[in-house]
Structure 1
Amino acid sequence: MSARFAPVRRSHYDLIVVLFVSFLLLSNIAATKLIEIDVLEWSLVFDGGAILFPLTYILGDVISEVYGFKPARRAILLGMAVSILASAVFYLVQIAPPAADYENQAAFEAVLGFVPRIVAASVIAYAVGQLINAWVLVKIKERYGEGNLWVRLLGSTVAGTAADTAIFCTVAWAGVMPVGTILNLMIVGYVYKVAVEFVLLPLTYRVVALVKQNEPAYQEIA
């Protein structure tokens, strides 16, 4: 019998999804640390996930813009499944008995320990925010066509990020932190994520253009 191999179709979708899921996992781990920066008379509080998480929205925009809602939903659900799997693995490692000479159990639990409330907040906020982001972008494009890309990029981010930030901060911190701190996290996190999208808009334009130009299926449709 001759050996057989499945063909790998030429597409950038898989590469973008890998980066999308990777950024999500790294953001979830980094989110365990809260960062406070004093700017003039204000103290800005945000979690470490805010450093990289906005890029997941940019990649999500690229997937939605080029491939449509169903492939975007597939990537989002894949990211959610991998996040749940990562949390389960961290939990199993956490409860596994440490070696006698292992001295970092407390540190491991502090950074990667399974906290059901944080995991639930992260998964729910991510799924709702990303799905809203993808749906809004696709609906705007279906109605107005290829032009005014900036409108759907910013419009989808404004809607998706609002849902993501509000859900995560509420589920994760309500009853644990003062209301003022939670509102600070919401406002600073939301403004920061939208600002990153705005600042990186030229880069997003360039990435979208490159993917469209080098995506055979997109060129066939055009």
Structure 2
Amino acid sequence: MTRLLPGILAMAAIVVASNVLVQIRLGDWLTWGALTYPFAFLVTDVMNRVYGAPTARKVVLAGFATGVLCSLIGTQIAGEFGPLVTLRVALGSGAAFLAAQLVDVALFDRLRGGRWWRAPLVSTLAGSALDTALFFSIAFSAALVWLEPGADVAWANAAVPVLGMGPAAPLWVSLAVADWSVKLVLALVALVPFRAITTALKPRLA
């Protein structure tokens, strides 16, 4: 339990901060939560490298439980257009987090024996792509309106140029592209603290 605690606390802090900061916009396509959430993959990868996949999965489950709690609280807080967290957003957030993080753990473990940067980079990029695709499609796609018929997602499906300069697509596509672009950049940036932390903690290389 002692070795789990730092990872659990770090993951919980990131999840809580991201759930708060996602309510604050950053430009036309992002929220401040987009800058904090990707570091969940860093926590998972550090725990995986140092202690192995089973420990990393336990940290992921703790993060998932924290996210569910945040969603439950969010459904009880009224915003300008209704609850801060709708059922679709809660489902998208939970499903995306759990699936993406577990894929990250599995890929990292499979690539563990390669160059030090390959496992964290490949697993984070794959997990991030899955996370973005699942969250935005479940939360906002018109094709899944049956998940919560009462939720208004018309605003997210208004046709606009992708990122203001590409072909026309639903607004949520631009939000997803911007979100994944940030995750891509932060996946590269996170290699620096990943290397420093795992070297300091004498990583499990087997």
TM category, shorter: 0.7 to 0.9
Partner of 2:47: 63
Which residue of 10, 14, 21 corresponds with 2:5?
Answer: 14
Code of the residue aligned with 1:173 in structure 2: it is F
The Cα offsets for residues 25-59 of structure 1, whole Å up to 9 and x where unpaired, read as: 2112222344325xxxxxxx123311101111111
Partner of 2:117: 150
Relative to 1, partners in 2 of residues 1:64 and 1:48: Cα closer, same or farther, differing over 3 Å?
Answer: same
CA–CA distance in structure 2, aligned partners of residues 197 and 91 of structure 1: 31
Secondary structure at the residue paired with 2:23? coil
Give yes or no for the alignment of 1:174 onto 2:141: yes
Give yes or no for the alignment of 1:31 onto 2:34: no
Q: 1:110-189 maps to which residues of 2 (within 5 A)?
A: 113-141=84-112, 145=113, 147-175=114-142, 176=153, 177-178=156-157, 179-189=169-179
Q: Percent of counterpart pairs with the same letter?
A: 23
The Cα offsets for residues 68-90 of structure 1, whole Å up to 9 and x where unpaired, read as: 11111111111111221233244
CA–CA distance in structure 1, aligned partners of residues 129 and 96 of structure 2: 10
Relative to 1, partners in 2 of residues 1:120 and 1:207: Cα closer, same or farther, differing over 3 Å?
Answer: same
Q: 1:206-221 maps to which residues of 2 (within 5 A)?
A: 206-212=196-202
Relative to 1, partners in 2 of residues 1:125 and 1:106: Cα closer, same or farther, differing over 3 Å?
Answer: closer
TM value normalised by structure 1: 0.73
For structure 2, list consecutive stretches of 5 or more residues without a partner in the other structure: 143-152, 158-168
CA–CA distance in structure 2, aligned partners of residues 118 and 149 of structure 1: 35
CA–CA distance in structure 1, aligned partners of residues 117 and 179 of structure 2: 21
Q: Which runs of 4+ in 1 moved over 6 A?
A: none
Which residue of 168, 173, 183 corresponds with 1:193?
Answer: 183
| Shift in Å, 1:207 | 1.0
| Shift in Å, 1:106 | 4.8
The Cα offsets for residues 178-209 of structure 1, whole Å up to 9 and x where unpaired, read as: 34322212222112112112023122100111
Contact kept? 2:35, 2:182, Cα under 8 Å: no
Secondary structure at the residue paired with 1:29? helix
Secondary structure at the residue paired with 1:149? coil
Number of paired residues?
183
Structure index of larger Rg: 1
